[in-house]
Amino acid sequence: MPSLSRITNISLTVVVLIAVITAGINFIFVPQIKVYSDENRVIEEAIVTQRAELDLPIRVLNNVKMQIDKAEDTLVSESLESAFETHQMNLVTSASNLVPEFNKMSKNWNDIAKWSLWRHRKNVDNLDRQIAILIQDALEIRNISFSFSIYTMELEALNQAVEKFDQDYNQMIESHRSLSDSVVKDINFLANLIIILLLVIAIGYSYGMRYLINKEFKYVHDSFKAISDSRIQNTELPKIKPYFSEEMQMNDYIQTLYNERKLISEIREILISHYIVEDFIDALFEKIKPILDIDRIGLAFVDYEKNILVAEYGVASYEDMFLGPGFETSFEETRLSKILAHKKTMVTPDLELDFERRPESKTLELIVDEGVKSNMILPMEMNGTVFGMVFLSSKKKNHFTSKHQELAEKIINEIKGLLNRAYFTKVVFAKITGSFSELVDQKDNETGGHILRMVAYSVVIAEGIRQKKIPGYEVDRRFVLEIERNAASHDIGKVGIPDQILKKPGKLDPEEWHVMKTHAGIGADIFRDLRDGLRVFDPEFYKMAEEISRYHHERWDGSGYPEGLKGEAIPLSARIVAIADVFDALTSKRVYKEAFDLDRALNILIDSKGTHLDPVLVDVFMENLSEIERIMTQSHPDNLE
C-alpha cells in the first residue's frame, strides 16, 4: 500500500526537479541557444555579404567580355585587362570566403543539435548536406573563375554556377530558418510543458488533498460520533477503503479506539446490573480474560486505619488459589505503598525473580505457589485517594505489555465507581446481617463468640467439600464466600421469640417448644421480605441467608422442622450450618448445661450421621479436625478439658 507522505515527497521532488530543469533552461540552455542563434545571424550576415560581393565582379567581367566581343581588333586595352584581373581575383576571393562561413554554420548547428539532445539531428543533417552543396557551388564558382583568361572567358558557365548557388542558397536559408523556428518552438513548447506540468501537479495534488480531506474528515467525524454514542453496542463504525498507509494507520487507530470504547461500554452494561463484589469480579473476569489473556483477577481494598491491604475476592482459570479473601498484608511488607503514593500502575514481569529477591514476602510466596509468573496491579482512585487495587495475573513471564496496561487502565478507570458501589453494598449488607446476628446472640444469652465460631466451622466444611470435589457436593469459591457471609444469619428469627421462652434456663414445655421452632420461619421471612425489596437490583440477594434461616433445623432423616425435609432435599448450605451450629452448641457452655469436651462432642456428631446430620459433611468435618481445634482454642480455650 503506497504511503501518502512518500507520494507527497515524490511530488515535491518532481516539482523541485522541474524547477531545477526550468532554472537550467532559463539560465543555461536558453542563453546558450541564444548565443548560437546570435552566431548564426552573424554567419548568415557574413554569407549574405560574401554573396553580395560576387555580383560586382560578375557584372564587371560580363561588361569586359561584352567590350571585347564588340572590339574590332584583337588587342585588349590595358584598362580592360586590369579590370578583368582585379575582379577575377575578387570573384575567386569572395567564392573562397564563403566556404569557411558555411563550415562555421554547419559546426554551429551541430553544437545546437548536441544541446537539444540531437532532437533535430535529421534537420541538421539535411542542412549539412545543403551546406556541403553550397560549398561545392562556391568552389565551382572559384574554379571557373580560375579556369578562364580574358580571352577565354566562359561567362555562361559562371552565370549558371552562380544561379545554381543562389538556388541552393535560398533552399539552405529556408531550411536554416525552418530549423531555427523549430528550435524556438521547442524552447517555447518545453517552457509551456513545464508550466502545464506544474499546474497539473498543483491542481491534481490540490484536488487529491481536497478529496482526501473531505473523505477522511467525514470518516473521522462519523467514527467519533459512533464512538461517543452512549448506545455504542448498537452502532457500527463507518467503512472506509484506505488507499494509503496513513489511512490504514488511521483506520486501525479508530478501529482500536472503537473496540476499546465498545468493550468498556459492554463491561459497564454487564457490571451495572451487579451489586455484589463477587458477581462483579466474576463477570469482569469472563469479559476481559480472552482480551488481556489473563489467568487470574483479584480485588483488594485499603484499610488506612490499620495500614493494611485486605484481599476481598479473586477468581482464576485454575483451581488452587492460595491467596484468597481475607488475606491481609501490611503496606510496609510490600511495595504497594508506592502505588498508594504515586497512584500509578505497577507491573511485575517476573514474580519468581521478585520472590527470590524478597523471600520474606508471604504475598509473593502464595501467588508464586499458584503458578502465577507476572502481575499487573492497578490502583482504584476516588477523590485523590486510592481505595482499592485490582490485580491482573498471568502464568506467563513478561506477559503484560504497554498495550495491556493502557487498555486495563481505561477499563478500571471506567468501572472503579461501580466497584466502589459494589464493595459499599457488600459492606452495608454485611453490617446489617452482622448487627442482627449479634443482637440475637446477645438476646439468646449464649456465651460470646458463638456466631464467629460457627461461621468459621461452616467455612471449614464448605472449603473441605470444595477441595474434595465430592459428586453431588460440587461447590466453588463463591459458595464458600456465601457461607462465610450468611452463616451468621441462621438464628436471626429468634428476634421474634419472647424473652421468657428464649431465656428460659430449663427445658421448654411443648407449647414453648412450638413457639421456639417458629424462629426458623421468622428469620426466613425477614430475608424473604428483604429479597423481595431488593429483587429489582439482584434476585439473589439474601437467598442463601433465607435458606439457612429456614432449613438449618431440618434433619437428614426428615424428622426436623419446619418442613420435615429429608436428605439432599435440604439445601446444602443449611446442612453445613447445622453441623457447625450443633458442634458449637455442644462445646460451649450454656445456662442449662456445661460445655462438652471435644471427644464427647465428636462422638455425638458421629452418632448423628445419617439421622440428624449429613454423613458426608460429618466426614469432611472430621477430616479437618485440626483446623476445627485451632478455631476452638483461639475462641474459648477455657472450655477444653
Distance of CA 198 to the CA centre of its chain: 39
Mean pLDDT, range 34-56, rounded to an integer: 76
pLDDT of amino acid 182: 74
Q: Give the pLDDT confidence of 96-114 residue by residue, as tens digits.
A: 888 888 888 878 777 766 6
Tell me the average pLDDT of the chain. Answer: 81
Mean pLDDT, range 272-290, rounded to an integer: 81
Of the chain, the end-to-end C-alpha distance in Å amounts to 85
- Whether residue 37 has pLDDT greater than 70: no
Q: Give the pLDDT confidence of 368-402 residue by residue, as tens digits.
A: 999 999 999 999 888 888 888 999 999 999 999 99
CA distance 355 to 369: 11
Between 3.30.450.40, 3.40.720.10, 1.10.150.120, 1.10.10.10, what CATH number should domain 276-415 receive? 3.30.450.40
Q: Please choose, from the candidates 148, 168, 166, 169, the residue with its C-alpha nearest in 3D space to the C-alpha of residue 157.
A: 148
* Residue 373 DSSP SS3: coil
Q: How confident is the model at residue 552 (pLDDT cuts 50, 70, 90)?
A: very high
Q: Give the pLDDT confidence of 315-334 residue by residue, as tens digits.
A: 999 888 888 777 888 877 67
Q: Give the pLDDT confidence of 330-366 residue by residue, as tens digits.
A: 877 677 888 888 889 999 999 999 999 888 888 889 9
Return the higher-pLDDT residue of 343 and 503.
343
* Residue 375 DSSP SS3: strand
- Whether residue 639 has pLDDT greater than 50: no
Least confident segment among 138-142, 166-170, 414-418 = 414-418
Q: 444-639 belongs to which homologous superfamily?
A: Hypothetical protein af1432 (1.10.3210.10)
Residue 566 DSSP label: -
Rg of the chain's alpha carbons, rounded to an integer?
57
SS in 3 state form for 179-233? HHHHHHHHHHHHHHHHHHHHHHHHHHHHHHHHHHHHHHHHHHHHHHHHHHCCCHH
The set of cell numbers assigned to 514 is 412450638
Q: How confident is the model at residue 307 (pLDDT cuts 50, 70, 90)?
A: confident
SS in 3 state form for 62-86? HHHHHHHHHCCCCCCCHHHHHHHHH
- The segment with the largest mean pLDDT, out of 283-287, 432-436, 601-605, is 601-605
Name residue 299's amino acid: L
Mean pLDDT, range 224-239, rounded to an integer: 70
Q: Please choose, from the candidates 343, 408, 414, 334, the residue with its C-alpha nearest in 3D space to the C-alpha of residue 376.
A: 408
Beta carbons of 185 and 168 less than 8 angstroms apart: no
Residue ranges, CATH 3.30.450.40, the chain: 276-415
Q: Give the pLDDT confidence of 431-473 residue by residue, as tens digits.
A: 666 666 666 666 654 545 788 888 999 999 999 998 888 999 9
Other Cβ atoms less than 10 A from the Cβ of 521: the count is 17
Beta carbons of 175 and 126 less than 8 angstroms apart: yes
Beta carbons of 515 and 498 less than 8 angstroms apart: yes
- Whether residue 568 has pLDDT greater than 90: yes
Residue ranges, CATH 1.10.3210.10, the chain: 444-639
Q: How confident is the model at residue 558 (pLDDT cuts 50, 70, 90)?
A: very high
The set of cell numbers assigned to 328 is 491481609
pLDDT of amino acid 432: 66
Return the higher-pLDDT residue of 242 and 480.
480
CA distance 627 to 633: 10
pLDDT of amino acid 447: 46
Q: How confident is the model at residue 577 (pLDDT cuts 50, 70, 90)?
A: very high
- Whether residue 542 has pLDDT greater than 70: yes
Least confident segment among 46-60, 418-432, 499-513 = 418-432
